[in-house]
Amino acid sequence: MEKLVFRDLRGKVLYFLNRLSKKFGIEENGYQKIDFPLTHQELANMIGATREAVSLTLQELSNEGILVTSRRMVMIHIEKAMEELA
């Protein structure tokens, strides 16, 4: 819980998605695939942020190659995420 409270929004999103990937992820080509639908609003509610801010953060992470997103799944690049969270 402490890690979610003291991180910036980018850190919160990465931390939460990393936790989900560890619990529900399937490894695929260096990525952990979280294969269940998760809306931007649901993610925002879980980390205490606005949907708009979460959407912008997810887009940034996607542009940097840390995430791959689609309508029904999220893939998080394991090594890049761990570097960012360290």
* Residue-by-residue DSSP string for 4-55: HHSS-HHHHHHHHHHHHHHHH-EEETTEEEE-S---HHHHHHHHT--HHHHH
What's the Rg (C-alpha) of the chain?
Answer: 12
Give 56-84 pLDDT, tens digit per residue.
999 999 999 999 998 888 999 999 999 98
**pLDDT at res. 73:** 87
Give 1-24 pLDDT, tens digit per residue.
555 555 789 999 999 999 999 999
**pLDDT at res. 41:** 96
